[in-house]
Chains A and B, each alone.
Chain A
Amino acid sequence: MSAPLLEAVGLTKSFGEGEARVDVLHDVTLRIERSELIALVGASGSGKSTLLNLLGLLDRPSAGTLRLDGRDTEQLDEEARTELRSERLGFVFQAHHLVPALTVVENVMMPAAVRAGGFDEAARARALALLASVGLEGQGDRWPRQLSGGMAQRVAVARALMNAPPLVLADEPTGNLDTQSSDQVFALLLREQAERSTALVVVTHDPTLASRCARVVRLVDGRIVADGPPDQVLLDTRARRV
């Protein structure tokens, strides 16, 4: 068996020191295979964003190891982690979706521009094609503030896919959207995930959306309490809620 795409073992994360110390994640162990689709669910404050930040190399764990493509990411310096982010990962965030100072197409091109050291025509063509595939044909030269929330989030999805990363992390990508745009963006994420066979970890509060993912991971107070197919994990929720 080949190495998994991402392997987290015993991840622990605490913030602050001494009296003010908050333990947010406890001994989280998680394997993500190539082209896997995972929904990460849990109550607000359960540590989903913290975990996603660790998986996305945006933050370092207090203890535990994280391997990406078999490489121990803790051994890498900030520069190497930054490079790894640009080449292997795509991000979709709930807030601050886009860089307002850049045009829509420049936002999408940004991951490629980081790699190439500048904006080039080939990247622009690919970015425009991606925009078309998320239903935003001809919107490339507009500015983010001219777009609706749903459109902005679709641009963010296109940007996350720009470098064709093997893993996309989406933190409540539909959290700020109305039901209709929320459904659109989620459907888009799942479609692109399937078409490009990238792995996708998506944080969501919505059980209906989560139920469309093959695997659901539930976090309670910084611990993984359930990890399996949606009917098991989500049924489990209802059982708990009752």
Chain B
Amino acid sequence: MKLSLHLAWRFLRDGRAQSLLILAGVAIGVAAFVFVASIISSLQRDLIARTLGAQAQVTVTPREASSRALLEAPGALVARRVEPPVPRRRSFDGWPRYARALERTPGVSAVCPRVSGPALAGRGASEEAVVVVGADPARLRRIIDLAPRLVGGRYAAGGDRALVGDGLAEALGLRVGAPFRVSTDRGAVTLRVVGIFDTGAAALDDAWVVTSLRTAQTITGRAGDVTELDARVEDLYAAESIARSFAARTGLEATSWMQRSRDLLIALRAQDQSSYMIQLFVMLAVAMGIASVLVVSVVQRRGQIGILRAIGTSRRTVLAVFLWQGVILGAVGAVLGIALGVAFAIGLGQVTPFPIEPEPSGLAIAASVSLATGLVAALLPARRAATMDPAAAIRGDA
């Protein structure tokens, strides 16, 4: 191995101009790979943060009572009218147990029991329809993080303290510290604004009143109860399958963002695919570049390879010499290309509306892909070199 690595290095050094040229090619290819991956993943991170930052990735609720057809048989034509069930107040029996089960489910990284209910918020003569959201503030942060989006006040909830969106604050003329009225058919309470958030999602900013679980339970008349369990998952795209299997296991209803935000899902998938295609074609071009340079090198070095074989260099060593050349080109190209790609991506990030941050995992993938590409590209030339007939190579004929 030491010998083949040394010879590989010598061959690359000997064909300096060619080696540098192909190295530049590999570096540019890897840079394009890293650049595309960084932009797409940053774009997606931004898109996801803006769209999914305001909703739970997986939501678990008690099963909805649904109307069923009376007769269901293949080919049977049944006239029916589906009557939606009358909305009624369902309680989420045994939710603490389900919350623990959901927390232990592989792939789930955080769970937050939450109570939500409609109410009217008012101050003086103005009134707005709102959604009272109650949850443990620390748990809620791991699902929907309002803390970094505060434009005033601080992140706290409980007692009579509540967080409101900037839309609602404006509509009611609320400032931090201001009291306001929250009423339902069961009565009214007075809360105090402790913080104002701006998430960019109108559904939250114009309507949410976030308090502690206890306060919201009191307002909505659900003592000890919750309306849903929200969860965050480790792999965004595993949300649907986690939701499905949890629903099947517990008989509860579980939905994922993938169901709720189909358009976003399709957009993300299309971006992923175009990014993979670009990366695939770039690396194919790199592989062909390396392969053609090495094939030429094998042909040019026929005589040298013949001599090496004649004086006892094994086929395996000759094979390794050319595989190493591919690996070295892939490795050095990866280092240069990653540096170049990251520099480009960060440079572009200065002028994009969203930050571009290359992911370490993406860089690791780029490095492995580059190494593998170098190795695979070297296979054919290496085989040609190793199977060369030394007598013919020394004679210098085909």
Contacts and interface: CB of A to CB of B under 8 A. Distances in A.
Contacts of A113: 3, 6
17 contacts: A58-B390, A59-B389, A79-B314, A86-B313, A87-B312, A93-B307, A95-B394, A95-B396, A96-B304, A96-B306, A96-B307, A96-B396, A98-B307, A113-B6, A114-B313, A118-B3, A159-B311
B123 interface: no
Max chain A CB contacts within 10 Å: which of B306, B310, B396?
B310
A111 interface: yes
Contacts of A59: 389, 391
Nearest to A119: B6
Interface in B303-337: 303-304, 306-315, 317
Interface stretch (B8-16, B124-132, B139-147): B8-16
B11 A111 contact: no
Contacts of A99: 304, 307-308
A115 B304 contact: no
A140 interface: no
A102 interface: yes
Interface of A: 49, 53, 56, 58-59, 78-79, 82-83, 85-87, 89-91, 93, 95-96, 98-102, 106, 110-111, 113-119, 159
Contacts of B1: 117
Interface in B263-318: 301, 303-304, 306-315, 317
A139 B77 CA distance: 97
Nearest to B3: A118
A91 B396 contact: no
Interface of B: 1-3, 6-7, 10-11, 13-14, 301, 303-304, 306-315, 317, 389-391, 394-396
Contacts of B7: 101-102
A58 B13 CA distance: 29
B74 to A, nearest CB: 67
B396 A79 contact: no
A99 B7 CA distance: 10
A205 B313 CA distance: 30
A83 B312 contact: yes
Contacts of B306: 96
A123 B3 CA distance: 13
A56 to B, nearest CB: 7
Contacts of B317: 114
A124 to B, nearest CB: 13
A82 B313 contact: yes
B391 A118 contact: no
Contact of A82 (B303, B312, B389): B312
A91 B391 contact: no
Nearest to B8: A101
B311 A111 contact: yes
Contacts of B395: 49
Contact of A58 (B3, B308, B391): B391
Contacts of B308: 99, 110
B13 A86 contact: no
Most chain B beta-carbon contacts within 10 A, residue among A106, A110, A115: A110
A82 B309 contact: yes
Nearest to A52: B391
The 3 closest A-B pairs by CB, nearest first: A86-B312, A118-B2, A101-B14
A78 B318 CA distance: 14
Contacts of A159: 311
Nearest to B312: A86
Given A95-B394, A115-B312, 13 more contacts: A58-B390, A78-B315, A86-B312, A96-B396, A99-B304, A100-B304, A110-B308, A113-B6, A114-B314, A117-B1, A118-B2, A119-B2, A159-B311
Contacts of B303: 95-96
Nearest to A88: B312
A82 B11 contact: no
Contacts of A91: 310-311
Contacts of B14: 100-101
A184 to B, nearest CB: 22
Interface centre among A87, A89, A99 (most CB of B within 10 A): A99
Contacts of A95: 303, 394, 396
